[in-house]
């Protein structure tokens, strides 16, 4: 233990010294196996830290290193330390993923900006038409037939008939044409459907005009007829609340 503490002291002194002057190391410096292992450990630790941590308080990093070498003066036990590191890494990974998604969305918006503008223009003009109602989220709808049954909740499973079209009237999906109703959980579909279906009573038939951010946004099914940022129109008949 004293040997490790002694080595730790050397490492600490070297690191502190390196803040003011970086020592040049060459292959000739690796004279023994211990030399090679020591240098490799340094590379490995630095690589791990650099890939997972944006910044490190070097003073506390070195204090933690020395405390671990001493093994009698740690202010965190091993489990707590691992938990802190894991939570920090997970948080940073989530931030990185969000940045990547935002960058990808911006790239797509530059490619499909006209689609987004066309949808916004369509909805702006549509909301002033007779019978069109607009919710706080921006969802627009027309009541074509009002039912008398119960209304589903966010956790309900429903059976519906529907026809989905682009704003130019192109049909991209239709349970009516297939001759078979669709069944799904209300919380498993796009936001516009989740909100809109809860407005309906069983037996109702509504027409929904759904903004892109309540539809598929930047991520429609690849290769399908729906382009990124497309506003959509659905005619939906609520047949049954299954559960």
> Is 173 tagged catalytic?
yes
C-alpha–C-alpha distance, residues 115 and 98, integer Å: 23
- The single residue of 122, 162, 206, 209 carrying the catalytic annotation is 162
3-state helix, strand, coil in the chain (%, to 5): 50, 15, 35
> Is 172 tagged catalytic?
yes
How many residues are there in the chain?
A: 243
How many Cβ atoms from other residues are within 10 Å of residue 138's Cβ? Answer: 18
How many Cβ atoms from other residues are within 10 Å of residue 235's Cβ? Answer: 17
- The single residue of 122, 209, 216, 229 carrying the catalytic annotation is 216
- The single residue of 112, 142, 190, 213 carrying the catalytic annotation is 190
Residue 145 class from Cβ within 10 Å (0-12 exposed, 13-18 middle, 19+ buried)?
exposed
- The single residue of 142, 173, 184, 213 carrying the catalytic annotation is 173
232-to-29, 31, 158, 167, 175 alpha-carbon distances in Å: 67, 70, 21, 6, 16
Helix axes 2-18, 58-70, angle to 10 degrees: 170
> Is 39 tagged catalytic?
no
- The single residue of 141, 206, 209, 234 carrying the catalytic annotation is 234
How many CA atoms, within 13 angstroms, populate the side-chain half-sphere of residue 26? 1
> Is 162 tagged catalytic?
yes
> Is 216 tagged catalytic?
yes
- The single residue of 39, 65, 112, 172 carrying the catalytic annotation is 172
C-alpha–C-alpha distance, residues 206 and 197, integer Å: 9
CA angle 112, 114, 117 (to 5 degrees): 115
Active site residues: 162, 172-173, 190, 216, 234
């Amino acid at each position: 233990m004293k040997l490790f503490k002694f080595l730790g002291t050397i490492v600490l002194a070297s690191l502190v010294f390196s803040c003011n002057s970086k020592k040049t190391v060459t292959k000739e410096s690796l004279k023994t196996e211990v030399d090679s292992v020591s240098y490799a450990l340094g590379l490995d630790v630095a690589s791990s830290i650099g890939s997972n941590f944006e910044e490190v308080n070097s003073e506390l990093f070195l204090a933690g290193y020395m405390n671990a070498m001493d093994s009698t003066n740690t202010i965190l036990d091993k489990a707590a330390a691992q938990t802190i590191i894991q939570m920090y890494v997970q948080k940073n990974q989530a931030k990185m993923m969000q940045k990547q998604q935002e960058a990808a969305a911006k790239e797509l918006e530059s490619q499909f900006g006209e689609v987004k503008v066309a949808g916004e223009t369509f909805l702006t003009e549509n909301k002033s038409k007779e019978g069109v109602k607009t919710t706080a989220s921006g969802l627009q709808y027309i009541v074509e037939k009002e039912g008398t049954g119960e209304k589903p909740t966010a956790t309900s499973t429903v059976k519906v008939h529907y026809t989905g079209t682009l704003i130019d009237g192109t049909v991209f999906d239709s349970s009516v044409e297939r001759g078979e109703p669709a069944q799904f959980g209300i919380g498993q579909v796009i936001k516009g459907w989740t909100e809109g279906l809860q407005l309906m009573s069983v037996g109702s038939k509504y027409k929904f005009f759904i903004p892109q951010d309540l539809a598929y946004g930047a991520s429609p099914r690849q290769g399908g007829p729906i382009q990124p940022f497309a506003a959509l129109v659905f005619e939906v008949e609520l047949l049954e609340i299954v559960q």
